[in-house]
Every structure is written in structure tokens, then in C-alpha cells.
Structure 1
Amino acid sequence: MNANPPIFTATVPVFRHYLSRISDIVALAGPDALDAALADMPSARWQFATAAGFAMRVTCPLAGRDVPDLPSGLGPRLAVARAVLGAMKPAEFDGAEARVIRHRAGFAEIDQTAEQFLYLFGLPNFFFHMTMGYAALRAAGVALGKEDYDGIHLYPADYRLPES
């Protein structure tokens, strides 16, 4: 049985894992490919940097911490976000579900319970930006697979999913 607070379990290990995946994707893609973008959206580099920002923007208030300023460069930004998450302790999240988080969503100023903030705002936005960065790289021809995205799946190199 997991003795960690549920909000800790839903944030710190999840964001650490996927920030690690982003770091690996960035390394596979190389710096030139990170300028790729979908349609009129910002670049993969921007999307991944924004995902790292969301990891901090979501986890820190839930832990009762201030959101730190992150470096502007993507590599250092990912490293700092992962280090901040790595220093967080489960005890910081005791009682987190009772917190109300006031934040901005675009131009909207809103109050959400911790669970609403995490599950309806934080996690979806983190994964949106991670996915847009991944999709931009794929569209630009970077050879990435689902295993690169989640670090869990494994497919043979020549395998193609059947279309239904």
C-alpha cells in the first residue's frame, strides 16, 4: 500500500518521469529539429519548455511552495525542474487536497480545488504541451516512437500499427 499522499503520487513521480522522457526526446531530435512546429503553433522547443514550466506551476502550489523562476534554455530548464521535483518530500503534500489554488488559465483568473487544479488543468496542460512538441518533431521527420514518448512501450523497429 502506498503511504504517500495521493496528490504527491499524481505529481512528483509522474512529472519526473515525463520530464526525463522529454530530455531523451530532445537528445534524440538534436537542437536543429527543435525549431519544428505544427501549423501556426510555437516550436517543439517552446512546447517542451512550457511543459517543464507546467510541472513547476502545478506541483509547487500543491506542495505549498512558490513556483521557482526557471532558466530560459531548454536543457537547463528541464534539469532545474527535475531537480526541484527530486527535492520534494511527500510530507509537503499532506493536506494538499484541502488547498484552493488561485491561478491564471490564459487570461482567466480562477480558483480551483487542488484536485480540480491537478486533474482538470495541470496534468492536461502538461501533456498537451509535451504532445505538441512530440508531434511537431514527428511531423518534421524525427524518428520517434511511442516508446520514446512514454518509456514503457516497446515495438520492433519495422512494426506499424494496423489502421482500422
Structure 2
Amino acid sequence: MTISMYGMTVPFFTRMLTNLLAIMDKADANAAERNFDTGVLVTSRLAPDMLPFRSQIQIATDHAKGCVSRLAGQPVPSWPDDETTFDELRARLNKTLDLLATVKPTDLDGSDTRPVTLKLRSGDVTLSGEDYIVQRALPNFFFHVTTAYAILRHNGVPVGKSDFLG
């Protein structure tokens, strides 16, 4: 049995972004318990050379919206990366979920072989849609979702694997 391009993308993105919203709710509750400002979490990072929590959310949502848009042969929506609060990051997650909800399985039909060209710092890279999902979109998406989770966990938010997986 083969999984469709839609099945390889939209359900994964939707589930993990929804899980991030729930994890952020736990972070809010924990911050209130500890009388802790979630603004500190927004700018927290795991290492000095890593991007902060806010950037992890921005990049994860960029990969989700970028992937489905590229596979559907549509322009990738451009959103400013100007979120500075938990509420603004939640709004971005919800905006991405709203976009994902508009994608139909037929929108991605035939995209497994459609060329996807990425503009990277090292130059343009063109992959088939299937290679793009497997080699770029999903690994990058999960890296940033995992890092966002790890930043919150590192800062004492009581979440575990079941929260990550949903």
C-alpha cells in the first residue's frame, strides 16, 4: 500500500502543530503556577548558537505551509516573522492550521513527480515532490517542532513524550 502525498503531509503537519498548541497551553499553566513570564520562554534557546523558541515555531509553520503550497503548485504564502508573545505564536500556529484545512487530497495529486525547486543559501536545489517531502520538508519540520518542545521542557514545562505525540 502506498501513502498519498496528502497523507504524507497534511495529517502530520496538522497533528504536530495541534500538539504544539497543547504544549504551549501547558507552558502557560506552568508559568502561571510558578509566577513566570512566558515572554522568557519565547526568547529561550537550548544553546547560544541556536534559534529561540519563537523562531522554531516560525520555521516549523514555514515548512508546513511551504510544503503543501509547493506540492500544490501554488505560491508559498509569505508571513512576517514578527511574533513576540505566546499569543502571537499561537495565532501563527492557528493560521497555519487554517491553511492546512483548505488543502484537499486532490490538490496534491501528481505532486510526487512534480519538480520542487528550493532556493537555498548554497544555491537552487530541484527535487521531485516525493524526495522533497522525505529529504527536506518532513525532517526540517520535525527538527523545529522537536526543538520547540525541547526548549519548553528544558525550561521546566512538565511535558513528556505523550504530549509531543499527542
Question: Are 2:105 and 1:90 aligned?
Answer: yes
- Normalising by structure 2, we get a TM-score of 0.82
Partner of 2:139 in structure 1? Answer: 124
Partner of 1:156 in structure 2? Answer: none
Paired residue secondary structure (1:128): helix
Amino acid at match of 1:61: R
Shift of the 106–27 alpha-carbon distance from structure 1 to 2, 3 Å rule, reads: farther
Task: Pick which of 73-82 and 114-123 moved more.
Answer: 73-82
Question: Are 2:55 and 1:46 aligned?
Answer: yes
| Equivalent of residue 104 in structure 1, options 119, 129, 151 | 119
Q: Is the 8 A contact 1:37 1:137 kept in 2?
A: no
Q: 1:15: how far off?
A: 0.5
Paired residue secondary structure (2:112): helix
Q: 1:60: how far off?
A: 0.9
Q: Is the 8 A contact 1:51 1:125 kept in 2?
A: yes
1:101-146 C-alpha deviation (Å, 9 max, x unpaired): 0012444320011111000100000000011111111111111111
1:45-100 C-alpha deviation (Å, 9 max, x unpaired): 21122101110111111112211123543122111110010011111111111201
Q: Which runs of 5+ in 1 are unaligned?
A: 152-164
- Identical counterparts, % of pairs: 33
| Equivalent of residue 45 in structure 2, options 37, 49, 58 | 37
1:20-45 C-alpha deviation (Å, 9 max, x unpaired): 01111122113332322111211112
- The number of residue pairs the alignment matches comes to 149
Runs ≥4 in structure 1, deviation > 6 angstroms? none
Q: What RMSD, in angstroms, separates the aligned Cα atoms of the two structures?
A: 1.8
- The CA distance in 1 between the partners of 2:68 and 2:137, in whole Å, is 9
Amino acid at match of 2:96: A
Paired residue secondary structure (2:47): coil
Paired residue secondary structure (1:96): coil
Question: Are 2:26 and 1:19 aligned?
Answer: no
Amino acid at match of 1:118: I
Amino acid at match of 1:150: L
- The CA distance in 2 between the partners of 1:34 and 1:148, in whole Å, is 19
Partner of 2:5 in structure 1? Answer: 7
Shift of the 106–17 alpha-carbon distance from structure 1 to 2, 3 Å rule, reads: farther
Amino acid at match of 1:35: T
